[in-house]
Amino acid sequence: MDTRENALKLYREFIPKLLECGTEIDEHYRRFRELRLMEDDLSFQSALLNVEHAFFMVVQSMNILRENLKLLETAVKKKEIE
């Protein structure tokens, strides 16, 4: 069963949602970072820094997902060219 067309359709459906989600995550990351920079309590700064780090890890994972989706799109298009 050739699922290339379905994969391309799913890719095209998902990419805008991924970008939208990334934008929201970035906004929340910035807000937490702002709080950390305003915080005087060092132990709470540390907790906020851990949250920032978690956001960073999520964004890294999303970047890997996006890159692999692009590779998937390329693989689908190679079949279309042949």
- Can you give the residue ranges of every domain in the chain? 22-74
Distance CA 45, CA 52 (A): 10
The 8-class DSSP code of residue 26 comes to H
Read off the tokens for 6: 């379905």
The pTM (predicted TM-score) of the whole model is 0.79
pLDDT 10s digits, 10-40: 999 999 999 999 999 999 999 999 999 999 9
Residue 82: DSSP 8-state = -
List the structure tokens of 20. 């939208």
Which residues are CB-neighbours of 24 under 8 A, at least 6 positions away? none
Give dist(CA 51, CA 10) in Å, integer: 31
